Structures are given as structure tokens and as C-alpha cells.
Structure 1
Amino acid sequence: MNDIKNTFIWEIGSFQDYVKKVNRISSQIFCIPQITFDKDQVEDDDKTTLWRLVLYPNENNYISLFIEAIKTPYEIMKSIDKRNQIYHIGIGISNKSLNFRYSRNFIHQRNSVKATFDLTKNLPSWGFTKFISLDSIFPGGDKSKKVELFIQVTILDDKPVEKKKIYGHLEKWFEDEYFTDVEFILDCGSKIKAHRIILVSNSEYF
């Protein structure tokens, strides 16, 4: 089970100008609180981690999108050489209404991306070449049309300790037939009763 830690939204106004003139653009550095691990991979403490988004606006008519891990003084002090992360990332169009309120509509998203950032490298990054075609941003191919683009990244926190607590709580129902609503009949004739909600929440098969 993943808990959302934080969401960062990067607004890129007049994106059409970047497509014509710029090879690479970066967001400001943003911080996310998360659990860190020491060099022996033992859970250490909740510390702030630093990130930056990098976008290549026109690589053979595609947008390439990456997230960079910025090493923190804490990670340097603790000799932390990698950062495991799960995140959602998406790109879309911002529309401003007559009352100056923005609505954001996603065009393309990638969910539950699992990445390991090697902090021994200079600006380690993880992402996607050809994340989305420019034709999806500029229908009809008119790249002079004004576009207000946004990138949204949601950092997820994967806590094995919490998983153990959850599974430990469910374990007591394994031998308890109270409220069971499904039954497996084995070839040997044995019968096993179970709870549908537990099966569905823990296996893609069901």
C-alpha cells in the first residue's frame, strides 16, 4: 500500500515558444518529505529529499520528460548512495476561464513508476524519452498555437513496515470462517473458505 507524500505541479506558460527555441528546460528544485535509509538499508528517519523536473520540448517531434534526484546534505553526511522511489507523472493542458480560474486536463500519465536513483552519479535521473508526441499537444500540427502546459508529479511512499502491520491484521482471518463469502474446493476434496475483499485487494487474479 502506497501513501501519497506530496504532489508538485510545474506550470509552463507559452509552451509553443520553448518548442521552437529551447532544447532543455528545468523546473525549480522542490522538496518532498520521505523516509530515508542509512548505508546498511536500515530505516533511519523522515527527511526532506530534493527533486527537479527536466523536459526536452522537441526531440524528433516528441517531448522527453525526466525527474532528477538532487543529493541533500543529509544524504551526503549519512553516505546514502541510492534513493528508491515510486511516483506518478503526467502532462496536460491548463485552461484559464473568464473568471481567471484554471482547470487542468491530463493528456498522458504514467502511474506507479518504480525507480532507483544512483546518488553516486552527477544528477541521477529517471524518466521517459518520447513521453508524448507533440501532435497530442498541438492537434493539427500548428506549433504556433498558444499552449499552457503543466507537468504533475506525485511522489508515493512505500513503507514495508506498514505493510507488515496490515498483513498481520488480516492474518487472523485466515482460519476464521466468520463472514466468509467464497469457497475453494481442491482436487483432494478439501474446502477452503475465504473473504472476497481480501482476495481482490491482494491479488490481480481476482
Structure 2
Amino acid sequence: MEENYFAFTWKINCFNELVVRHPNGSFFYSDRFWSPRGQGGKSININVVNEQNSSHNNTGYLWRLKMFPNGVDKKSNDYISLYLEAIQTHYEKQNNITGRQKKFRLALYRVDSNLQTTKQKPSLVIDRHTLETKFEFNGVNADYGFARIIALKELFPSDNTPEIDLLVRTQIFEDTMTSGEGPSSMVIVNNISLMPFERYFGEERFCDVEFIFDCGSSMKAHRVILAARSTYFESMLGGEWLEGHMKTVTIKDMPFDAFRCIVHHLYTGKLEEGLTFELLRDIYSKADMLRVEQLSQMAAERMVNLMNHENWDQILMLGWKYFDDRLKDAGQEFAVKHWIEIKDTDNMKQVMASGHVDRIVELVLQSFFTPNNARIEL
């Protein structure tokens, strides 16, 4: 069943000029806009701020988009960074609502400004996968999105690229309502799994379980926080397993750094910055095992942002192994795009030796029928 959503489109005129004027780390905002709360059907809003009385009642959410044309940081230089930011409404402030859990999707379209026509049809540049997060109105977790949604060279392959207007489209999916309730009686979840626990990470005063590792490292944590944030830990520490009665739990077959990052996410809802590809790969596979789905998605997105000629094969095969379309499609797209450079490499030999015959055939056929690769002898 297709989910209902609200769509907002932000038109950015003369995007080429903004790229020149905004250095790395510099950003600008869209207009603020409202999305309806739990109303059926699909609606479109193009650069319209409809205040109505939404700030004083429970009928809408307030948002804006935030763009860094040359990347949010040095690691994202030469990429566009794009985020959806939640803004606390008067209603939320008056009722002490400190955050909101939402699913959303971001896409970019281009319109060539020099087209000699009055009807300019936008062409899709990239449509990213759906994200879900808990927005918090504390200035730290107020926005969420992509540090590298697309490389600038994908928009401007040469210095002679004509001037373009950019369209940013966000889809914000509807709330899930309790059966029998209407839009005006949405349930405000005061769930322990959504409460901010960040200040307790690394705080040993109330810790009641310690994890030890083969490398000799150890870390302490709080059972109730881990159990509230993960069904895996709820089973492990809630008495169903032998470990449920232990104050010290030995962790096997999991690197300490990966486990620490997973626990950090359970406390904060975040994935730490500056992690290596190898550590992200471990986090991804272990988070999948521990059924921490949001962290798996975050690690996958971070790996895709770090994809290069040395690791594309690992991303592709992770996508195959875990049936992750995001990783599979990204790895396959990279392989097809760089087929000439990679077809005889050790990375390709690893892919060919993986045993995924049907998927290898799909990859080779796609590369062969891509125009730039059509004359390549396999």
C-alpha cells in the first residue's frame, strides 16, 4: 500500500551563481513551510508559507530545508549537502513536545535556464532513499539529511555547463494514527525509547552491566536504556538469555570499536563522525545482526559517501548479502560508470568469485548496454 505524503518543492534560481558565492561550510535556507498532520491524500506546496493558525493548534508541522552548495565540511567539499530541519511550533512549545519522529525523502531536479521554451520540464538528477529519524528541537538533532547528496561535477560536468535552476523536492510521510482516531486526536508518544539519553553515555554512576571483549577492552552501560532502544538487548538483558542474570557479559566475534559505536547510537540516535570505511562496514553488519535498523541505514549511507575504486566491490557484495537495495544499486552504479577502469582489477575478480551468478550477469549486461561502455570487449 502506497503511503500518503506531503510534498514541498523549493526552486533555487541561478544555482551556478550560488555555488560560486557560497564556500565550503556556508549554507542557506528555504522558506519555512507547513506539512499537515495526519490528513489523507497527497498535497503539493511550491514555495508557499501558509501560516493559517497552524502554530497555535495541532494540525501541522513546521519545517525548512537547509543546503550547503559546496558541502557541510571538508569531507563533503565539492558535494551538495542537503538537510530537512524541524522547527518547533507554538503548539509543540506550549505542550512541552521536544521532538517529532518522521519519515521523509529528498530529491533534486534541474531546469536548464537557457531553454528557448515557456514550458520547462524539470529533469530528475537524483532521488535518495527514504530516511526516518527523531528530530529534536535542541539545536543538535534538529536537522537530518545527506552530507553528500550528489557531487557538483554530476551537475556541472564542465566549465561550459549552461546555467541551471535547481528544484529540491521533499516528501514528508503521514503520521500513523491509532485505530479509530482522527487527525485532531493524534497520539503524542511519550516513549522511553525516544527520550534523550545522550548525557548518560559514558556516565558510570548508574551503570549496571559491563561488556568485556577479547581485545581486553571493556565498557559499562545501563540495561534499561539498551533494552528500551533494542529488542536484541531487551532479550539478552531481560532474563530470557543467560546473560540476563550477569553483571559482566562477554562479547564474542564483535570488534570493540563497532560495539561502542552501536551503543553510542542507542544512547544518542547518532552515528559518530570521522569513522573509517572498515569500521562502518563492521557497524553495518553488526547493527543488522542486533536489529538496529536505523543505524544500519546510517552506516550504509556513510559507506556510499566514501565509495571509491578500492571499496566499491565490498559495498556491492554487502548489498547482495543483506538484500540492501541502497548498497547494491550504489555499488552497481559505480561499477557501470567506471567499467573501463575496474573491469580487470582485483576488486572485479573478487566480485566474479563471489558466486552470485545471476547478479554478476545483471552487472555485466548493464555495463555492456550502457552507451559509454557499449564497445568494450568483456
TM-score, normalised by the number of residues in structure 1: 0.67
Distance in 2, Cα, partners of 1:134 & 1:70: 28
Contact 1:24/1:57, CA 8 A, preserved across alignment = yes
Distance in 2, Cα, partners of 1:74 & 1:63: 33
Contact 1:3/1:158, CA 8 A, preserved across alignment = no
2:43 corresponds in structure 1 to none
1:163-194 per-position Cα deviation (integer Å, ceiling 9, x unaligned): xxxxxxxxxxxxxxxxxxxxxxxxxxxxxxxx
Distance in 2, Cα, partners of 1:159 & 1:143: 48
Given candidates 32, 57, 60, the residue that maps to 2:69 is 57
1:68 corresponds in structure 2 to 85
Distance in 2, Cα, partners of 1:20 & 1:49: 33
Query: Does 1:146 find its partner at 2:158?
Result: no
Q: CA deviation at 1:7?
A: 0.6
2:30 corresponds in structure 1 to 27
Name the stretch that deviates more: 115-124 or 55-64.
Answer: 115-124
Residue ranges of structure 1 left out of the alignment (5+ in a row): 36-44, 163-203
Between the two structures, name the one with larger relative contact order (CA 8 Å, sep ≥ 6): 1
Residue ranges of structure 2 left out of the alignment (5+ in a row): 39-56, 72-76, 180-322, 324-378
RMSD across aligned positions (CA): 2.5
Q: Which has the higher strand share?
A: 1
Q: Which has the higher helix share?
A: 2
How many residues were matched structurally? 154
Q: CA deviation at 1:69?
A: 0.5
Q: How many percent identity over aligned positions? A: 26
Alignment of 1:25-174 (within 5 A): 25-35=28-38, 47-59=59-71, 60-95=77-112, 98-121=116-139, 124-140=142-158, 142=159, 145-159=162-176, 161=178
1:126-169 per-position Cα deviation (integer Å, ceiling 9, x unaligned): 111111100111123x276311111000111141536xxxxxxx
Contact 2:58/2:91, CA 8 A, preserved across alignment = no
- Secondary structure of the 2:103 match is strand
TM-score, normalised by the number of residues in structure 2: 0.38
Q: CA deviation at 1:67?
A: 0.8
Distance in 1, Cα, partners of 2:100 & 2:132: 11
1:12-54 per-position Cα deviation (integer Å, ceiling 9, x unaligned): 111010111122121000110114xxxxxxxxx9521110001
1:38-75 per-position Cα deviation (integer Å, ceiling 9, x unaligned): xxxxxxx9521110001000131110001110110000
- Secondary structure of the 2:92 match is helix
- Secondary structure of the 1:136 match is helix
Q: CA deviation at 1:2?
A: 5.9
Query: Does 1:6 find its partner at 2:6?
Result: yes
